[in-house]
Structure 1
Amino acid sequence: MPFPRGKKPSVTAGNKIPNLHDKGMENQEEGPQVKRVSSSPQGAPKKRTAFVDITNAHKVHISLPGTKKKNSLKKTQKKTTTTVSDKNEANLKKSESVSSESQEEETPVEELVVVGAVPPRELPPHLQRPQIPEKFDIDTQHLDDPTLTAEYAKEIFDYLKAREEKFILSDYMSIQPSLNAGMRSILVDWLVEVQENFELNHETLYLAVKVTDHYLSTAPVNRESLQLIGSTAMLIASKFEERCPPCVNDFLLVCDDAYKREELIAMETNILQALGFDINIPVPYRFLRRYAKCVSASMDTLTLARYVCELSLQEMDLVPERGSLLASACLLLALVTKELGGWSPILVFHSGYGVSELAPVVRKLHSMLTSPPDDKLLAVRSKYSHKVFFEVATIPTVDLETLESALK
């Protein structure tokens, strides 16, 4: 308990703490005392300096009870009596003794440097940057921008491309007796409208479609729960991609309250367990932007490729295709449509695909564009007919003869 200021605590007969006030008075007559101001409350134990070596605490002399320190004034007087000549003579004798010892055994400076030098360590192979030819380097110019991660952008997309092997799908409609490809296309068309209404990222839409396909490939589901699966997949993708994802009630609202909150949360648990909580699925949209950067494609050309890629989400025949391969085929079709050339060597280097590998998918995409549109699937075409997207949906499709000549 702290004592009131200005009053001396009373010591009882049974108190074991001695009064050191009188003993401390002896030392005040013998030398100057250093008064330390404590920031602790009065009566609380004083804090001990933790880092004595990096403070001036070692310069402070604390007098203890029962000890006597030497007079500091006498020390200063002795130091002032030593003349400069005495110091010079002492330094001269010391240098002579050191020089005589060094003549007996002298070590070259070069040897000390060699012994103390640490050889540079080489980075292990998995940490070394891949050697990129100068003509194929598209990241060095962005080294000053930390948001583009130019130092390891190539490794990121190589990693995503390697992860695609884990998420390869097949035509799973054979295990879905209550569903068909048309129902899936209607669901994807509805997800496009949800993405527009909530103003979500395009990556969110692609990931939601991927999550839906992977869940439908695990077990048969009822036709009535298909919209619940799609909206829950969009919720999961929003949590993964968006900074401010919509809440559960928002998705219940777009479903016209056809499902309860408990049903949506239970479906979220089922989907995550079916996917092993691994929802980092590589989507074509990421590869498309990367490959368009290789040829410095304009925004309208990239938007045309995005339109073809987003339209392909409704095609069940393109579900088994890898995202990187599908993105490459969409970009090649857009380049041919815009008469900007074919598949250049820099695209072969970064994508890893040649024209012969892309040709079958490009033909499927061309057939998709030339086929008459379904009146029930107009969300993507209506979306890319807007001026914001350069009205790329209204651009005429390249004829098959021109396309085949480019594929050769």
Structure 2
Amino acid sequence: MRQILADWLYHVQSRFSLLNETLSLAINLMDRSLLAMNGSITKANLQLLGVTCLFISSKFEEITVPNVEDFVIVAGSVFTKEDIFLMEMKILSALDFNLGAPHSLQFLRRYRFYVEPDSRTYQFAKYICEVASVCYSLAHYLPSTVAATAIWLASYTFGRTLVSNYLFDEVFKLDQATLFSTARSFVDHVINFANPDEDKIYALREKYQDLVLDEFTTEHISKLNDFFDYGYEYSGLSSTSTYSALSILDK
């Protein structure tokens, strides 16, 4: 349910032309609220939570904020603006008004300066970052780790393997083994979310379809699957680093 809701928020973002940072913060607030409110959020009011988090993040990030009535309408009027205001108070109280959070896209912009990817690679890296925000099994990774994984995996997908020690040690601040194991955990989700036959998760795919996913071919999918199955032989990473990564995965 959380994954479907997060993808639906991408539809709302598109509808209101909201910033990527607004949506990223909304999903962050939603996850933190689910933990902080300790079971008081049910299936019946999960959509209300998501919409309210987007309403809050809009006020935090946007110059022009949609009216609260717009959020009611886009949700099909299944709740009222008073419901949103009440949920807003509950969220702010549960989070102690601690709303700020770093975004993976912010780190990605910084990494772009060092990696200098082409437009296609950069758009695919952005797609990977947003896959991580939708997919709950990837939500525990730090934004900096998500961004590093995204730019590395996107570069690899389109024919460039990043192996610079300076990049890993001074920019990503990750060892190769950690990034390798993290990238492998992303592969299935990156492929599945781009699949047009996946009808439950569609808004994120539509967002990036024209930008890059039209160029994400079966050849690229096969390359990612080979990376997942066979490891360093297809990754360009050192065998020593890969051994460490595989040891981590085996635990």
Instruction: Give the TM-score normalised by the residue count of structure 2.
Output: 0.83
Counterpart Cα distance in 1 of 2:105 and 2:61: 13
Q: Give the 3 Å change call, closer, same or farther, for CA 392–353 of structure 1 in structure 2.
A: farther
CA shift, 1:277, in A, is: 0.8
Q: Deviations over 1:315-353 (max 9, x none)?
A: 221111111111111111001111122242342212211
CA shift, 1:393, in A, is: 6.5
Counterpart Cα distance in 1 of 2:184 and 2:93: 37
Counterpart Cα distance in 2 of 1:331 and 1:291: 8
Instruction: Answer yes or no: is the 8 Å Cα contact 1:195–1:201 preserved in 2.
Output: yes
Instruction: Answer yes or no: is the 8 Å Cα contact 2:184–2:227 preserved in 1.
Output: no
1:382 matched residue in structure 2: 206
Counterpart Cα distance in 2 of 1:342 and 1:232: 40
Counterpart Cα distance in 2 of 1:385 and 1:286: 22
Give yes or no for the alignment of 1:252 onto 2:72: yes
SS of match in other structure, 2:209: coil
In terms of fraction of residues, the more helix-rich structure is 2
Q: Give the 3 Å change call, closer, same or farther, for CA 393–312 of structure 1 in structure 2.
A: farther
Counterpart Cα distance in 2 of 1:232 and 1:329: 30
Counterpart Cα distance in 2 of 1:248 and 1:288: 31
Say which is worse superposed, 344-353 or 184-193, in terms of deviation.
344-353
Instruction: Answer yes or no: is the 8 Å Cα contact 1:208–1:237 preserved in 2.
Output: yes
User: What amino acid sits opposite 2:23 in the alignment?
Assistant: L
The partner residue of 1:399 within 220, 224, 228 is 224
Gaps of 5+ in 2: 239-251
Q: Give the 3 Å change call, closer, same or farther, for CA 199–235 of structure 1 in structure 2.
A: same
Counterpart Cα distance in 2 of 1:231 and 1:379: 16
The structure whose RCO (Cα within 8 Å, separation 6+) is larger is 2
1:272 matched residue in structure 2: 92
CA shift, 1:231, in A, is: 0.5
Counterpart Cα distance in 2 of 1:268 and 1:201: 20
CA shift, 1:309, in A, is: 1.5
2:113 matched residue in structure 1: 293
Counterpart Cα distance in 1 of 2:70 and 2:5: 18
Instruction: Answer yes or no: is the 8 Å Cα contact 2:107–2:143 preserved in 1.
Output: yes
Instruction: Answer yes or no: is the 8 Å Cα contact 1:307–1:384 preserved in 2.
Output: yes
Give yes or no for the alignment of 1:231 onto 2:51: yes
Q: Give the 3 Å change call, closer, same or farther, for CA 197–346 of structure 1 in structure 2.
A: farther
* 1:60-139 equivalence runs, <5 A: none
2:13 matched residue in structure 1: 195
Counterpart Cα distance in 2 of 1:202 and 1:212: 15
CA shift, 1:228, in A, is: 0.5
2:249 matched residue in structure 1: none
Instruction: Answer yes or no: is the 8 Å Cα contact 1:289–1:302 preserved in 2.
Output: no
User: What amino acid sits opposite 2:61 in the alignment?
Assistant: E
Q: Give the 3 Å change call, closer, same or farther, for CA 291–256 of structure 1 in structure 2.
A: same
Instruction: Answer yes or no: is the 8 Å Cα contact 2:24–2:103 preserved in 1.
Output: yes
Equivalent pairs counted in the alignment come to 224
- Larger CA Rg, structure 1 vs 2: 1
2:137 matched residue in structure 1: 317
Counterpart Cα distance in 1 of 2:163 and 2:95: 35
Q: Deviations over 1:50-105 (max 9, x none)?
A: xxxxxxxxxxxxxxxxxxxxxxxxxxxxxxxxxxxxxxxxxxxxxxxxxxxxxxxx
